[in-house]
Structure 1
Amino acid sequence: MGVMGFFALLFLGALVSTTDDGGDTTVADAPTGTDEEGGGGETEDEGAEDAQPEETPPSLGESIEHGDWEIIVHAIEYDVPTAQLDEFFAEEPSGQWVTVELTVKNISGEPRSFGERDQVLMDEAGSMYRYELWASTLFGFDTNPGSEETGVLAYDVPVDFEVDHMLVNGQGGFADGVRVDLD
């Protein structure tokens, strides 16, 4: 038997030992840890309490870093009159206009273009809504490092639309966005 085999047998021997009455005690019967007073082990329920709680998604006004951008969603407004949008290009919506105001800051080391198209609204059913180019305030084509811009994205959504959240995305169309709660 080689050295590795010897150590494997020692390890297995430590895991399973014989009690005085001839019965076997396995690892499952052994305590999993001790408390400060030297008492019993930690139970499965106690370990669950130590688990980290799920992070809550960011909400309005919170800064999110994603890709080359720091993004802050300031406000959402429902049933916006067309007259409040771009006076030359905005048409009447098929449902209602919902606008989202946000600020973006280029945190990369090079000029970048912000991807308005990658910012989507989601309803409770999981339907995604993209912004309408002609009704939105466009961000600059090349935003220099450290520069920030504020704009409004307009979405043509159904009259009974209720937003569940928004996905903001600073990495581009092939990346997952970051959920932002808008309530």
Structure 2
Amino acid sequence: MTHPQNPQAGQAYPGQPQAGQAPYPGQPYAQQPQYGVPGPYGAPPAYQAPIQPPKKKKKWPWIVGILVALIVIIAAVAGGGDDSSDKTASSGSSNSGEQADSGGDNGDKKADEQAAGLNTPVRDGKFEFVVTNVESGLSSVGDNEFLTAEAQGQFVVVTMTVNNTSKEPKDFSPTNQKLVDTEGRSFEPDTTAQIYLGGSDIPVWDNINPGNTVEVKVVYDMPVDAKPASIELHDSMFSGGVKVNLG
């Protein structure tokens, strides 16, 4: 068996082109195969946020706006009605007030005409009063020269009897009795002058037993030119009072 002999140095293997000759068609160069260099790794795809569903438009701002507009319209309409009603009410009240004032004036005049006078019994609460005397123009009052009260203007002394018509003792105080002059001014009693005056069963305060009658002198300090017109007598400081004319 014949083995192929290796070519001598510089000779090509059988079937291969000699040095300097072009390779046979369809046959690659007698060189080591060229392997492709792998390219760089591709960058990972960029992160994309998930697509959000489209937001629904809120309807409540429109609803609120409509409600506000309705409220404004209603307020405007109501305000106009209130103005007219207020004007009507004010005109009506002014007319009624004028009528009431005129009626009140007439009522006061009638009350003055119907008020009792001196020595006429009148009642307020559980007490019956009879005004018996009025003395004015006093510069001082007192039992003696050492116990004397001097008037700022003039002292006016109103003498009255008081009877307890109830079935139990009742407190009485002269300080609850008010004197009114011809100018409509009201005067309160002078307690110190009443104490110095004397001659009064109750100078300041005391109980009156059921059925008893006491005599009381109430002293008022008034201007010199003042003239007492009436006295308002009270069962207590909270009672309605009864009027007695002094003129």
Measured against the shorter chain, the TM-score band is: 0.5 to 0.7
Moved over 3 A (4+): 85-90
Counterpart of 2:159 in structure 1 is 101
Match for residue 123 of structure 2 among 65, 68, 71: 65
Deviation at 1:77, TM superposition (A): 0.6
Q: Percent identity?
A: 29
Q: Deviations over 1:118-175 (max 9, x none)?
A: 11110122211111112223526111100010021111110001112111111x1122
Equivalent-residue separation in structure 2 for 1:106 and 1:117 (angstroms): 17
SS at match of 2:208: coil
TM-score (norm 2): 0.48
Counterpart of 2:231 in structure 1 is 166
Gaps of 5+ in 1: 1-53
Counterpart of 2:136 in structure 1 is 78
In the alignment of these two chains, the number of paired residues is 128
Given that residues 86 and 134 in structure 1 are in contact (C-alpha distance below 8 angstroms), is that contact kept between their aligned partners in structure 2? Answer: no
Match for residue 220 of structure 2 among 155, 158, 162: 155
More helix by share: 2
Of structures 1 and 2, the one with the larger relative CO (CA 8 A, separation 6+) is 1
Question: Are 1:175 and 2:202 an aligned pair?
Answer: no
Letter in 2 for 1:66: D
Gaps of 5+ in 2: 1-109, 195-199
Counterpart of 1:130 in structure 2 is 188
Q: Deviations over 1:13-51 (max 9, x none)?
A: xxxxxxxxxxxxxxxxxxxxxxxxxxxxxxxxxxxxxxx
Larger Rg: 2
SS at match of 1:91: strand
Given that residues 86 and 135 in structure 1 are in contact (C-alpha distance below 8 angstroms), is that contact kept between their aligned partners in structure 2? Answer: no
Given that residues 90 and 134 in structure 1 are in contact (C-alpha distance below 8 angstroms), is that contact kept between their aligned partners in structure 2? Answer: no
SS at match of 2:211: coil
Equivalent-residue separation in structure 1 for 2:140 and 2:151 (angstroms): 8
Equivalent-residue separation in structure 2 for 1:125 and 1:81 (angstroms): 21
Given that residues 89 and 135 in structure 1 are in contact (C-alpha distance below 8 angstroms), is that contact kept between their aligned partners in structure 2? Answer: no
Given that residues 173 and 206 in structure 2 are in contact (C-alpha distance below 8 angstroms), is that contact kept between their aligned partners in structure 1? Answer: no
Counterpart of 1:146 in structure 2 is 211
SS at match of 2:152: coil
TM-score (norm 1): 0.64
Equivalent-residue separation in structure 2 for 1:147 and 1:120 (angstroms): 23
Counterpart of 2:105 in structure 1 is none
Q: Deviations over 1:51-105 (max 9, x none)?
A: xxx461000000011111010000101112524x344644101001110000001
Say what the alpha-carbon RMSD is for the aligned residues: 1.8
